[in-house]
Amino acid sequence: MPANPFNGFTDFGVGIGLRVPHYQHILSEKPVVDWFEIISENYMIDGGRPLHVLDQILERYRVVQHGVSMYFGSHEPANREHLKRLKALVKRTKTPWLTDHLCWGSVDGTYSHDLLPMPYTFEAARLTAQKIREVRDFLEIPIAVENVSSYAEFHVSEMTEWEFLTEVVELADCGILLDVNNIYVSSRNHNFNPLDYVNGVPAERVAQVHIAGHSKFEKYILDTHDHPVIDPVWKLYARAIERAGHTATLLEWDDKIPSFEEVHNEALKANQFIAEMEVAS
């Protein structure tokens, strides 16, 4: 199921996040990279260097947009200015699908700039799915929602996180950006078996997979994207692609960013699991 309606029937391989410290290397060395993921908000501007660099990247590479502030789960309606700017960027990048997080982060127009966790209730699922549909109708592009790392759970939750994710994507008829690092982080923070999560999501809706590193503290794990991917996360990745097929895969590295080669090589480790999965199947 690599190509499906939720990733625009594309067949992308392993990519990495486009980050400022790598701009110069990418533009001068033109390395072979299957695709780049960009943070939409970094380019939802009127002009200047970021858009100039993006245009050069677009001439040579495939780009998929990933957002951090649509806040599908916020109770308030989507911000119209945000949507208009996002649509302009979608036209520029021709992204085959667009992703953002299954979370909330704003109330009454005040923004936290964080990915805050959802209460897993049917009411929240209904409201979130409705907003995803509205955004998709406005942008006219497939949307996939990403499970976030979380550090808190709510008394009012009526289901597990993976049941909530399933409920939302079925109601919205949208895709999933399955972040296996986030599953691992949340599983350690909330004491569940991460394989139950991977096995519990509708595999046919997985449009893309995220892999990343994280930081361990004494009493919890924080999703910091500043380390290589650890073995237990690779195991979850292997199981995810076993279920979903050879799906577009993206390594996120956002802090203490090493050289381009180091980040790319870390991402390319995914190919080993893809090859093993293909042999096994």
> Which residues here bind other proteins, judged by CB under 8 A?
41, 44-52, 69, 73-75, 79, 81-82, 104, 106-107, 109-114, 116, 119, 121, 123-124, 127, 151-156, 189-191, 219-220, 222
Nearer to other proteins, 34 or 163 (CB): 163
Nearer to other proteins, 126 or 269 (CB): 126
Nearer to other proteins, 7 or 106 (CB): 106
Distances (CA, A) of 9 to 58, 207, 247: 19, 9, 11
Burial class (CB within 10 angstroms; exposed 0-12, middle 13-18, buried 19+) of 119: middle
Q: How far is the CB of 89 from other proteins (least distance, A)?
A: 12
Q: CA–CA separation, 230 vs 20, rounded Å?
A: 25
Nearer to other proteins, 11 or 76 (CB): 76
Question: Which of 99, 132, 103 is CA-nearest to residue 117?
Answer: 103
Q: How far is the CB of 192 from other proteins (least distance, A)?
A: 11
Report the SS3 class of residue 184: helix
Q: How far is the CB of 268 from other proteins (least distance, A)?
A: 31
Residue 72 backbone dihedrals phi, psi, to 5 degrees: -55, -30
Q: CA–CA separation, 106 vs 272, rounded Å?
A: 40
Residue whose pair of structure tokens reads 């919890």 in the numeric block: 220
Q: Are 144 and 177 in contact (CB under 8 A)?
A: yes
Sign of CA dihedral 65, 77, 180, 281: negative
Nearer to other proteins, 224 or 265 (CB): 224
Q: How far is the CB of 98 from other proteins (least distance, A)?
A: 15
Report the SS3 class of residue 279: helix
Q: How far is the CB of 152 from other proteins (least distance, A)?
A: 4
Q: How far is the CB of 55 from other proteins (least distance, A)?
A: 11
Q: CA–CA separation, 178 vs 249, rounded Å?
A: 9
Sequential DSSP letters for 116-133: EPPP--HHHHHHHHHHHH
Nearer to other proteins, 109 or 279 (CB): 109
Q: How far is the CB of 49 from other proteins (least distance, A)?
A: 4
Q: CA–CA separation, 230 vs 72, rounded Å?
A: 29
Nearer to other proteins, 44 or 241 (CB): 44
Nearer to other proteins, 127 or 270 (CB): 127
Q: How far is the CB of 135 from other proteins (least distance, A)?
A: 13
Q: Are 182 and 225 in contact (CB under 8 A)?
A: no
